[in-house]
Structure 1
Amino acid sequence: MSETRAINFGAGPSALPQSVLEEAARGLLNFAGTGIGIAEISHRSKEFAAFLAEVEELIREQLNVPSTHTILFTQGGGTAQFSAIVLNLLARHRLLHPDLKDEERIMDYVITGTWSKNAAQEAGRLGGAKINIAADARVTSSDGKSFDNIPPHDAYKFSQSPALIYYCENETVNGVQFSHDQQAPESFPFHLLPKDALLPLVADYSSSFMSRPIPRLADHAVIYAGAQKNVGPAGLTIIIVRKDCIVDVDAAAKLGAAPVPIGLAYKSFAEQKSMPNTPPVFSLYVSGLVLRRSKALGGVSYYEAVNQRKKDKVYAVLGDGEKLGLLKGYVKRGSGSWMNIVFEVLGEGTEARFLAGAEAKGMKSLKGHRSVGGIRVSLYNAITEEQTDQLVAYIRHFLAEETVTSNS
């Protein structure tokens, strides 16, 4: 392509590999040699059915998804899953424990940022069970109200037999993430969970999906992710759900559970191979191209190594800026995200100068979320190490210029 492309550090919809975009452009005109574009072809065609099966296999292979789990493709993003998870897992709990009253059913939520907080609020709105906040990162924050940390293990209090246990692995807005080093105090405390062979453990992996391996994937009941971070365009939600959580929601409703809309019932998607209605065909297509490329590069192990180098470089220059009194990270050491690094540029007018200078160099979408402010650097898989180096070089140059200005 002759046009110069910007470096998109946006938090989502986010960057996609240029080679994938070029291939997708060809597919818009002619998908799989059919002479029909991907945005036009029937989702019931044999060519698309074969492609959809390949997308599922690419995820299963690269994440080592066991046969105990089904992979579903839906729409509605994480927000729809806030509701779907509650409704499906409460239906499961009703079938397992039909005689319990609603006030005796419990849903555990670990709140570490904006998205897990929103998920817990939706669960409370839907009702059907009590909400237990198993841990709240605001309690262990620097000021008692911010999401700047992953709580230490002694801060968790899980219920004995909850209908679900929910956490968000990476908080896109706040820039905190659970460590995947199980020895680290910032890791998810799997060892504290109820001793149940089939734990109702749910994880939002939207902004870290396919960026590194998922610890103890097989122990999860549901893992879900919006595609628009590391995998593809907005419009697709990927769900990895354990088969015992795909229940007859109508049978549960007869026992008193809330009716589950067909568009949110996992059973309807599982029985119809993710096509109870027309799926997000184009989003699935681009995601499949991304996953093919990921496999060719070495899968999540490859990205884990690259992403670690990328985040180490950005956190290093952030540390240098903090020593100079020009930058300030929002997150406690050890809790920082690999995917979304958030910080403040100190001094009057400095943030505007920082963003303008980055924009002039073709680095875009660095402004922080409206609820947090500051700067947010999103280092998703499609951001290369070379592009990360360009950002780091720019930050170092900016720090040098600001130091000279302040000393003159």
Structure 2
Amino acid sequence: MSDSRVTNFGAGPSALPESVLQEAAKGLLNFRGTGIGIAEISHRSKEFTAVLTEVESQIRTQLDVPQTHSILFTQGGGSAQFSAVVLNLLARHRLLHPDLSDDERVLDYVVTGSWSKKAAEEARRLGGGRVNVAVDARPYSKDARSFDNIPAHDTYSFSPDSALIYYCENETVDGVEFSNDASSPASFPFHLLPQNALLPLVGDYSSSFMSRPIPRLADHAVVYAGAQKNIGPAGLTILIVRKDCIVDVDAAAKLGATPVPITMSYKTLADGNSVYNTPSVLSIYISGLVLKHSQELGGVKYYEEVNKRKADKLYAAIKEGEAKGLFKAKVKEGSGSLMNVVFDVLGEGAEAKFVSGAEARGMKAIKGHRSVGGIRISLYNAVTEEQTDTLIAYMKEFLAQ
């Protein structure tokens, strides 16, 4: 089977471990001896309920999720959460501060790339509060208009009592990522946040979830991630929600908050044990297989080390190409993503030649996002170090030609 498969460097839906796919294929025909395929089984059956429990337990154990937080499963991807986090946390803020006007409610957004920009735009569209951009990375870029950096800590300006504080940990399109090293100037400035007991901090971890530990997870109100990068097929969104943020949205609506669609309400999901409506059964099942595979290898600590080695090798190859005038890094040093590495291939027709050469060698989906162009190499968990080494060998061959 491996001879017929290519290396998928795509940004998502992304590569999955081949052993997991083989196991999932068996489950599609006969899930755990039931005689029914996993894609056909009732989402309320005891067999699928057991799967939900197992997946939740794997996430809680591997990420060390505290009991103060619930783990919920829903649909709609990160884009649906652009809306859901606003509506649920505005409802919470309304219950806490019923007498404030909408203009007095503030939503803080850290804008470091295309996805955080879209999130802030959705918050403005929904209304219910004033959007404050705590920092915008573009003025600090090389050309003063691109997302190519994580801004320095002294550029942030957070509100004293915001309804939510949003950041995107890894920007899939632009290839920038917050550092996990607290001493790095590219780390998230947790120390600058208001010193409230229960921060409304929202972390979008869609493209880095389960690739490394989440710094100060317990301080987050919500962490969310689409599954289709590191742990499963598209269709599943994972939420880690602090329990004080699972509020009665209908009670908040009576006080003037925007009504929350019932399937977007975190309380609906929590009260219904993530099966208020039919969840993404197949995606949850495959995600469980991936998480089990991850645990056997050593979990997020293992992947953190491997992903760092993969990215370091790739960035070194890009530097080598820059020295020869053939490659150009798109992100400032120190702000580069471990998951999505972006660069340009210089020279007329050179990029197309680079892409076609990679495809001829069985390496697919390396073109950059249509909005920014260039090359994007996604190094998600299932992309092995050996596959990364093969790509780098091709890059060196390309440079030598």
* Global fold match (TM > 0.5): yes
Q: CA deviation at 1:143?
A: 1.1
SS of aligned partner of 2:131: strand
The corresponding residue for 1:193 is 193
Letter in 1 for 2:201: L
CA distance in 2 between counterparts of 1:216 and 1:270 reads 23
Deviations 1:160-209 (A, max 9, x none): 00000000000000000000000000000000000101000001000000
CA distance in 2 between counterparts of 1:124 and 1:241 reads 23
The corresponding residue for 2:11 is 11
CA distance in 1 between counterparts of 2:365 and 2:12 reads 10
Deviations 1:115-155 (A, max 9, x none): 00000000000000000000000011111110000000000
Letter in 1 for 2:326: L
SS of aligned partner of 2:4: coil
Q: CA deviation at 1:373?
A: 0.2
Aligned residue runs from structure 1 range 349-368, under 5 A: 349-368=349-368
SS of aligned partner of 1:376: strand
SS of aligned partner of 2:95: helix
Measured on the aligned residues, the alpha-carbon RMSD in Å equals: 0.6
Letter in 1 for 2:93: H
CA distance in 2 between counterparts of 1:326 and 1:2 reads 33
CA distance in 2 between counterparts of 1:198 and 1:30 reads 46
Q: CA deviation at 1:111?
A: 0.2
CA distance in 2 between counterparts of 1:396 and 1:143 reads 29
Q: CA deviation at 1:2?
A: 6.3
Deviations 1:338-388 (A, max 9, x none): 000000000000001100100000000000000010000000000000000
The corresponding residue for 2:134 is 134
The corresponding residue for 1:243 is 243
Structure 1 runs of 4+ off > 3 angstroms?
none
The corresponding residue for 1:115 is 115
CA distance in 2 between counterparts of 1:319 and 1:304 reads 22
Aligned residue runs from structure 1 range 325-336, under 5 A: 325-336=325-336
SS of aligned partner of 2:325: coil
CA distance in 1 between counterparts of 2:28 and 2:361 reads 31
Structure 2 stretches of 5 or more lacking a match? none
The corresponding residue for 1:381 is 381
Letter in 2 for 1:287: S
CA distance in 2 between counterparts of 1:214 and 1:284 reads 21
SS of aligned partner of 1:315: helix
Q: Name the CA shift for 1:69/1:355 in 2 (closer, same or farther; >3 Å).
A: same
How does the TM-score come out when normalised to structure 1?
0.98
The corresponding residue for 2:268 is 268
CA distance in 1 between counterparts of 2:23 and 2:391 reads 27
Q: CA deviation at 1:270?
A: 0.3
Aligned residue runs from structure 1 range 214-229, under 5 A: 214-229=214-229
SS of aligned partner of 1:139: helix
Letter in 2 for 1:44: R
Deviations 1:55-107 (A, max 9, x none): 00000000000000000000000110000000000000000000000000000
Structure 1 stretches of 5 or more lacking a match? 402-408
The corresponding residue for 1:163 is 163
The corresponding residue for 2:299 is 299
Q: Name the CA shift for 1:84/1:2 in 2 (closer, same or farther; >3 Å).
A: closer
SS of aligned partner of 1:304: helix
CA distance in 2 between counterparts of 1:141 and 1:123 reads 24
The corresponding residue for 1:279 is 279
CA distance in 2 between counterparts of 1:123 and 1:307 reads 33
Deviations 1:284-325 (A, max 9, x none): 010000000000110000001100100000000000000110
How does the TM-score come out when normalised to structure 2?
1.00
CA distance in 2 between counterparts of 1:198 and 1:155 reads 24
CA distance in 1 between counterparts of 2:258 and 2:122 reads 14
CA distance in 2 between counterparts of 1:112 and 1:194 reads 20
CA distance in 1 between counterparts of 2:127 and 2:356 reads 47
The corresponding residue for 2:80 is 80
CA distance in 1 between counterparts of 2:27 and 2:379 reads 27
